[in-house]
Chains A and B, each alone.
Chain A
Amino acid sequence: MVVGKKINRVDAVTKADGTAKYTEDLLDDKCLVAKVLHSTIANGKVLSFDLEEAKKVPGVVKIITSFDVPDIQYPTAGHPWSTEKAHQDVCDRKLLNTRVRFYGDEIAAVIADDEIAADHARDLIKVEYEEYPAIFDMEESVNNPGDVPIHEEKPNNVIVKSNYEVLDYDEAVKEPGLIKVTGVYETQKVQQCHIENASSFAYKEAGKVVVVSATQIPHIVRRVCSQALGCDMGKVRIIKPYLGGGFGNRQDALTEPLNAFLTLQVGGRPVKLMYTREETFFGTRSRHAMKFYITSYVRPNGTFAAREIVAYSDNGAYGSHAHALVANAVNAFRMMYPVGAIKGVAYTVYTNNPTAGAMRAYGIPQIGFALEAHVDDIIAKLPNDDAISFRKKNMMQLGYVDPGTTITCHSTGLSECIDKGREAIGWDEKIEKYKNQTGDVRHGVGMGIFCYKTGVYPIALETSACRMILNQDGSIQLQVGATEIGQGADTVFSQMAAETLSIPFENVHILSQQDTDVTPYDTGAYGSRQTYVTGMAVRKTAESLKNKICDYAAWMLNKDRIDLDLVDNHIVRVGTNDVLISLKEVAMEACYSRTNSNHIAAEETHHCSDNTYSFGVCFADIEVDIPLCQIKVNRIINVHDSGTIINPQTAEGQVHGGMSMGLGYGLLEKMLFDPKTGRMLNSNLLDYKLMTAIDTPDLEVAFVEPKDPSGPYGNKSLGEPPVIPVAPALRNAVYNATGVAIDSIPLNPEKLFQEFTDAGLIK
């Protein structure tokens, strides 16, 4: 068995010895340098550029402004393209924009011989603007859109408003004896902060534009570039090398379309467009800030009769992934506790903030915080329930079919996850021990649960292709369009191939590079879909390759195909398992045979038409220093049901990383903006508070592994979910420790001071 085994990553040595080449490491010495001029107003229009001084800088090759780009509005989201117009992504930005919509909008680009000349010339460009009042608050943007809409296509600044209702809400709330609980919960805007900045370089070769880029979605970026340039898709080639983290930010076309355009402006000479950390902060994507109004009606026996949500999502200046995130959030509001009547309304709103896009778990950390905080608020009002009993009574059960999406619960280990975490953290003893505390430093425990859909079916197309080629030595080349972005995809795909082919893991060769001219099609790394969707393509291709190998062996051995199988790297007789010949011998003959040379290869597409839920829980044990407004996390444990674990080491790594990101989300991280201008105030890694080693407690992880019947190897999503339950667990632990229920994050000292003062704990 290779699946389920702890195996070191296929790329670990290359990364440890420094030979792994990332985008910038592949640069040509002769590369020109492009620098983007960003707007210094948040809302308005460029009237004119004065380029005279800038052009005089020695080394400047060309300056392109928003008046020079094609009049094409294109989409950037990393979604599979919909051939139905109504479901297509919002096309609302140009390569450079004259109509400026946030502080930092891309309005011009300088191409120069070197960095210094490009920077210097950019600083000398003078811009004349017409300025409009800027709107930074999402509710304000809906209620008071002003005279000039942010995009003329959406006069009220609402990109999409959607709603749903399950059962009759108005009827349900009439039931006598219900307890009504309301709350308003807010989550902040944070950034993905992959350590490799947004970066690409582009050149022309053989009549095509080639973009080398740190992207999660090469095949989609090819389509977006072709849309932005107005050229055929085959004229664009995207190469994705090793990549320094994505977390959803790179599930969007970032620097690539402009970079492709810029190289064409200088005759196809190589041009690099590497964003600085500052530009990556405000000029790429971020997690949507959201605000939720929740009302619940609960029976005294601890079950939901009805609940309602109104959700706002701050999309910022451009559409990007737009409504998909908050729609995901209000859907999860329904799925997590599918009990009673439920209704939801969601707004995705343009504002003059930097654009939000995809980030790990796609809208669910937001609703996860709001809903799990709300559940603890409810429990506080119930006579006979506690955090665990209430959740277990109301949470999703096996066989649930979501009425909105038809996604079915094919397996669940959530109840076992809760039991395991409860035991590990010592929940029951601690709940007793932490009762009735006084004094400055108080302890608390808290929990949060989640459900997470594995792929994007049926909301969008799920498709994935895989190719395998048999080498002469019996090893194989495994090629996928799915991307390794640090999560360990290449390693688990290799395990899957070895498992199904029944060959040694070392005999599977995979390149951590995608090239749209070579690699099979896949939509890429997002939504924790790859082990599930691409995994199925790998399995299908391995079965097909195995079949072809056995066919050839049958010819070679002059036996019936039906009697042969490939087991443990050898062709064996079915039934007796007698070894007949090694795979290597078959492979050699297949390649070099003078009578029947056959280059054995297989390629299959998996068009996925199923989905499933993964689940999990976080338990946190913390201490709160009330006067210092500090939280110390003493223990934190995540327990996950992601179905069969393909590789315990990479799985644990995913959970660690998600927990760390969840801790940052709950405790520290927040993008700050100047309220007057909209300029980002902390666009650097000192003022933006990322978790460091010293901030991070030792992270504890456990799994329960019900085999999911719909997953290729019983597996379900794992990459994104670990981030979800952490922030609510922390918030509920603070509530448990202090009696103060805080309805927004991060729980940083500034917020704690305000809340503890309001509650009278700090005088």
Chain B
Amino acid sequence: MAKQLITVTINNKLTELYVDPRESLADMLRNDLKLTSVKHGCDVGECGACTVVIDGENFDSCIYLAIWADGKSITTVEGLASLEGELADIQQAFVDDGAIQCGFCTPGFIMSTLPLLNVEEDLSREEIKKQVSGNFCRCTGYTNIINAIEHTREKIKNDRDSDK
């Protein structure tokens, strides 16, 4: 099948590439760009292991066609750490709170939390849980993941307050 040219910003870098119109965004990121943090857990939008952020919103990239990404901006977990390799707050919180075990759900899970981190109004634990219920984790029982999200939100809030 004839490939199509798309222009897409990936982890802050403008990229042009030819993609198969049948190809999922997950496969494009994994195969063409070697962003292998994007995991396959089901390939049908059930597990969240392939979650990426597209223009600020989280999506299951396995059920998102690569050609739909044309003109959009995509972030994967590879795009979070600083150039020097310093982890983003949410990544560090996952590490410190014991929110990682096998790690297979981790990149997708972290991406699902991103839209929540800067929400300024208070979010209850229940609300946070609801927001990330599209991501399965079989290892951790979620408790430490929710802790990591809360701790990061607190840190971001404190940083925001001290900036004011």
Q: What residues of chain A have their CB less than 8 Å away from a CB belonging to chain B?
A: 8-9, 11-22, 24-25, 29, 116, 192-197, 242-245, 247, 276-277, 485-488, 649-650, 652-653, 656-661, 684-686, 690-696, 698-699
Q: Does B47 contact A (CB under 8 A)?
A: yes
> Pick the contact of B138 from A12, A15, A29, A245 — CB < 8 Å?
A245
Query: Are A656's CB and B103's CB within 8 A?
Result: no
Closest A residue, CB atoms, query B90: A16
Which residues of chain B from 124 to 155 have any CB-CB distance to chain A below 8 Å in the complex?
Answer: 125-126, 128-130, 132-146
Q: How long is the Cα–Cα vector from A487 to B36 in the complex, in angstroms?
A: 22
With A17-B91, A277-B41, A486-B101 in contact, is A659–B77 under 8 Å at CB?
A: no
Query: Are A11's CB and B77's CB within 8 A?
Result: no
Q: How far is the CB of B41 from chain A (nearest CB, A)?
A: 5
Query: Are B40's CB and A24's CB within 8 A?
Result: yes
Q: How far is the CB of A721 from chain B (nearest CB, A)?
A: 14
Given A13-B87, A16-B106, A116-B22, 5 additional A-B pairs, CB 8 A = A11-B103, A25-B30, A194-B138, A245-B102, A245-B139
Query: Are B143's CB and A698's CB within 8 A?
Result: yes
Closest A residue, CB atoms, query B143: A699
Closest B residue, CB atoms, query A14: B103
Q: How long is the Cα–Cα vector from A13 to B146 in the complex, in angstroms?
A: 18
Chain B residues whose C-beta falls within 8 Å of the C-beta of A693 in the assembled complex: 128-130, 132-133, 135, 142, 145-146
A-B contact pairs, 6 of them (CB 8 A): A16-B103, A194-B104, A245-B138, A693-B132, A696-B141, A699-B141
Q: How long is the Cα–Cα vector from A531 to B25 in the complex, in angstroms?
A: 41
Q: Does B44 contact A (CB under 8 A)?
A: yes
Query: Are A660's CB and B140's CB within 8 A?
Result: yes
Q: How far is the CB of B39 from chain A (nearest CB, A)?
A: 7
The interface size bin for chain B is: 35 or more
Chain B residues whose C-beta falls within 8 Å of the C-beta of A696 in the assembled complex: 129, 141-143
Q: How far is the CB of B146 from chain A (nearest CB, A)?
A: 7
Q: Does B95 contact A (CB under 8 A)?
A: yes
Query: Are A197's CB and B46's CB within 8 A?
Result: no
Residue among B36, B49, B98, B128 having the largest count of chain A Cβ atoms under 10 Å? B98
With A486-B101, A694-B130 in contact, is A25–B36 under 8 Å at CB?
A: yes
> Pick the contact of A12 from B94, B110, B134, B145 — CB < 8 Å?
B94
Q: How long is the Cα–Cα vector from A209 to B110 in the complex, in angstroms?
A: 37
> Pick the contact of A657 from B46, B76, B141 — CB < 8 Å?
B141
Query: Are B110's CB and A16's CB within 8 A?
Result: yes
> Pick the contact of A653 from B36, B44, B98 — CB < 8 Å?
B98
Q: How far is the CB of B129 from chain A (nearest CB, A)?
A: 4
Q: Is the interface of A mostly helix, strand, loop or mixed?
A: loop
Closest A residue, CB atoms, query B27: A115
The 5 A-B residue pairs with the shortest CB-CB distance in the complex, in nearest-first order: A18-B37, A486-B102, A244-B104, A15-B103, A660-B141
Chain B residues whose C-beta falls within 8 Å of the C-beta of A197 in the assembled complex: 40-41
Q: How long is the Cα–Cα vector from A694 to B143 in the complex, in angstroms?
A: 10
Q: Does B119 contact A (CB under 8 A)?
A: no
With A12-B94, A16-B95 in contact, is A277–B44 under 8 Å at CB?
A: yes
Q: How far is the CB of A646 from chain B (nearest CB, A)?
A: 14
B87-113 interface code vs A (CB 8 A; 1 in, 0 out): 100011011101011111111001000
Chain B residues whose C-beta falls within 8 Å of the C-beta of A195 in the assembled complex: 39, 41, 47, 49, 102, 104-105, 136-138
Chain B residues whose C-beta falls within 8 Å of the C-beta of A658 in the assembled complex: 141
Q: Does B57 contact A (CB under 8 A)?
A: no
With A17-B78, A18-B76, A693-B132 in contact, is A242–B103 under 8 Å at CB?
A: yes
Closest B residue, CB atoms, query A21: B36
Q: How long is the Cα–Cα vector from A13 to B141 in the complex, in angstroms?
A: 20
Q: How long is the Cα–Cα vector from A12 to B145 in the complex, in angstroms?
A: 13
Q: How long is the Cα–Cα vector from A685 to B46 in the complex, in angstroms?
A: 6
Chain A residues whose C-beta falls within 8 Å of the C-beta of B17 in the assembled complex: none
Chain A residues whose C-beta falls within 8 Å of the C-beta of B146 in the assembled complex: 693, 698
Q: How far is the CB of A240 from chain B (nearest CB, A)?
A: 13
With A194-B102, A486-B103, A649-B98 in contact, is A660–B40 under 8 Å at CB?
A: no
Closest B residue, CB atoms, query A659: B141
Query: Are A657's CB and B39's CB within 8 A?
Result: no
Closest A residue, CB atoms, query B38: A18
Chain B residues whose C-beta falls within 8 Å of the C-beta of A22 in the assembled complex: 36, 39, 104
> Pick the contact of A660 from B22, B94, B142 — CB < 8 Å?
B142
Q: How long is the Cα–Cα vector from A447 to B142 in the complex, in angstroms?
A: 22
> Pick the contact of A20 from B103, B134, B135, B137 — CB < 8 Å?
B103
Closest B residue, CB atoms, query A192: B138
Query: Are B43's CB and A653's CB within 8 A?
Result: no
Closest A residue, CB atoms, query B96: A8
Q: How far is the CB of B53 from chain A (nearest CB, A)?
A: 13
Chain B residues whose C-beta falls within 8 Å of the C-beta of A29 in the assembled complex: 31
Chain A residues whose C-beta falls within 8 Å of the C-beta of B5 in the assembled complex: none
Chain B residues whose C-beta falls within 8 Å of the C-beta of A14 in the assembled complex: 103
Q: How long is the Cα–Cα vector from A479 to B106 in the complex, in angstroms?
A: 26
Query: Are A276's CB and B43's CB within 8 A?
Result: yes
Query: Are A684's CB and B42's CB within 8 A?
Result: yes
Chain A residues whose C-beta falls within 8 Å of the C-beta of B37 in the assembled complex: 17-19
With A18-B107, A244-B39, A277-B42 in contact, is A653–B101 under 8 Å at CB?
A: yes
With A277-B46, A696-B143 in contact, is A18–B98 under 8 Å at CB?
A: no
Closest B residue, CB atoms, query A25: B36
Q: How long is the Cα–Cα vector from A706 to B2 in the complex, in angstroms?
A: 67
Query: Are A657's CB and B101's CB within 8 A?
Result: yes
Q: How far is the CB of B11 from chain A (nearest CB, A)?
A: 11
Closest B residue, CB atoms, query A244: B104
B35-73 interface code vs A (CB 8 A; 1 in, 0 out): 111011111101101000000000000000000000000
Query: Are B98's CB and A17's CB within 8 A?
Result: no
Query: Are B104's CB and A657's CB within 8 A?
Result: no
Chain A residues whose C-beta falls within 8 Å of the C-beta of B138 in the assembled complex: 192-195, 245, 247, 657, 660-661, 690
Closest A residue, CB atoms, query B35: A18
Residue among A25, A485, A487, A653 having the largest count of chain B Cβ atoms under 10 Å? A653
Q: How long is the Cα–Cα vector from A656 to B129 in the complex, in angstroms?
A: 16
Q: Does B81 contact A (CB under 8 A)?
A: yes
Query: Are B47's CB and A652's CB within 8 A?
Result: no
> Pick the contact of B140 from A17, A194, A242, A657 — CB < 8 Å?
A657
Query: Are B133's CB and A692's CB within 8 A?
Result: yes
Query: Are A12's CB and B95's CB within 8 A?
Result: yes
Chain A residues whose C-beta falls within 8 Å of the C-beta of B42 in the assembled complex: 276-277, 684-685
Chain A residues whose C-beta falls within 8 Å of the C-beta of B35 in the assembled complex: 18
Query: Are B100's CB and A12's CB within 8 A?
Result: yes
Query: Are A485's CB and B102's CB within 8 A?
Result: yes
Q: How far is the CB of B130 from chain A (nearest CB, A)?
A: 5
Query: Are A487's CB and B141's CB within 8 A?
Result: no
Closest A residue, CB atoms, query B108: A195
Chain B residues whose C-beta falls within 8 Å of the C-beta of A196 in the assembled complex: 39, 41, 102, 104
Q: How long is the Cα–Cα vector from A485 to B104 in the complex, in angstroms?
A: 10
Residue among B31, B41, B49, B125 having the largest count of chain A Cβ atoms under 10 Å? B41
Q: How far is the CB of A286 from chain B (nearest CB, A)?
A: 14
Q: How long is the Cα–Cα vector from A198 to B55 in the complex, in angstroms?
A: 33
Q: How long is the Cα–Cα vector from A276 to B49 in the complex, in angstroms?
A: 14
> Pick the contact of B81 from A17, A657, A699 — CB < 8 Å?
A17
Query: Are A244's CB and B102's CB within 8 A?
Result: yes
Chain B residues whose C-beta falls within 8 Å of the C-beta of A276 in the assembled complex: 42-43
Chain A residues whose C-beta falls within 8 Å of the C-beta of B145 in the assembled complex: 693
Chain B residues whose C-beta falls within 8 Å of the C-beta of A649 in the assembled complex: 98
Query: Are B46's CB and A13's CB within 8 A?
Result: no
Chain B residues whose C-beta falls within 8 Å of the C-beta of A16 in the assembled complex: 77, 87, 91-92, 94-95, 100, 103, 106, 110
